Amino acid sequence: MTAMSDAPQSPRPDEGDREDAAREPAPAEAADFGRQFAAAAEKSGLGALARDEKLSGRDLLTAVGGVRGILEALLPGLVFLMVYSGLTSFAGQDAQAALVPALAASVGLAAVFTIARLVTKGQPTQAIAGLIGVLASAALALWSGNARDNYVLGFFTNAGYALALIVSLVVRWPAIGLIVGFLMGDGLSWKQDKRKYRAAQFLTLVWIGLFVARLAVQLPFYLVDNVEALGATRLLMGVPLYALVLVFSWLVVRAVYPSSARSAE
C-alpha cells in the first residue's frame, strides 16, 4: 500500500485569487452603483466641483445645496433649539411644556420652505426630504416626550452611511472611488491605478471619519440628556463640517487626476 503523507496540501495557485474575487462585487454591480451615485452627485453640483481646476466658491456653494438649501438644512434645527432653550432657560417652562411649541416652529418652518419651492417651481426634492425628516423626528420626540429624541434619526443616518462605506472598503471597492471615477469619466479604470486606488481608500476613510465623529461627539450629549449641546453640535457638524470634508476631498481628487482628465469633461 502507498503511504499517505500527513503534510497539508498546498492550495492551487488560483484559489487565493478566487477567494479574493468572491469578496468583491461583480464589476457590473460596482459600475451600476458608481453610475447611480455619480448621477445623483452630478445633479447636486458635486460633479462641477470635482472637475474644477481651481476651487470655485460658487461651485462649492452649489455642492452644499446653495443658499436656499443651506437655509433649509440649518434653520428648522436652529429654530427648534432657540425656541426650546428660550422657553426652558428664560421663560421658566419645563421641558415637556417647551417641546410642543419648539417642534411646531421647526415643522412649520420646514413646511414654509417646501411650499416656497413648489410655488417658485424650484427643485422641491431637498425641501420635501427635509420636511419628511423634520416630521419624523418631531413624531419621535412627541411619542417619547423627550426633546433629545428630535435628534435620534440622525444617529441612524450617520451610522448607516458609515457602515456602507466600511463595507465598500472591506469588499475592496471604496465607494468614494466609484463615485469620483464616474464623475471624472474614469469609469472603473481607477482601480487599476495604484495611486488613484489608494486615494479612493483614503477618501472613503475620511468620509467614514466624518460620520463616526458625529456619532462620537453627539451621542454622549444624547445619553446625558443635554439637548442644547446636542442641538448645537448637530448644527456645527452638519453643513459646515460637510463643506470642509468636501474641500479636502477636492484637494485629493485634484492631486491624483491630471488636468487633462478634468478638462476633458
Tens digit of each residue's pLDDT (9 = 90 or more) over 54-81: 777 888 888 888 898 899 999 999 999 9
d(CA 209, CA 16): 31
Question: Looking at beta carbons, which pairs linking 199-202 to residues 24 or more positions away fall under 8 Å?
Answer: 199/252, 199/253, 199/255, 199/256, 200/174, 200/176, 201/169, 201/174, 201/177, 202/252
Tens digit of each residue's pLDDT (9 = 90 or more) over 172-201: 999 999 999 988 888 889 999 999 999 999
What is the value of pTM for the model shown?
A: 0.84
* Res. 163: pLDDT tops 80: yes
Domain ranges of the chain: 27-41+66-264
What pLDDT does 105 receive?
98
Tens digit of each residue's pLDDT (9 = 90 or more) over 11-27: 554 444 444 444 455 57
d(CA 39, CA 137): 29
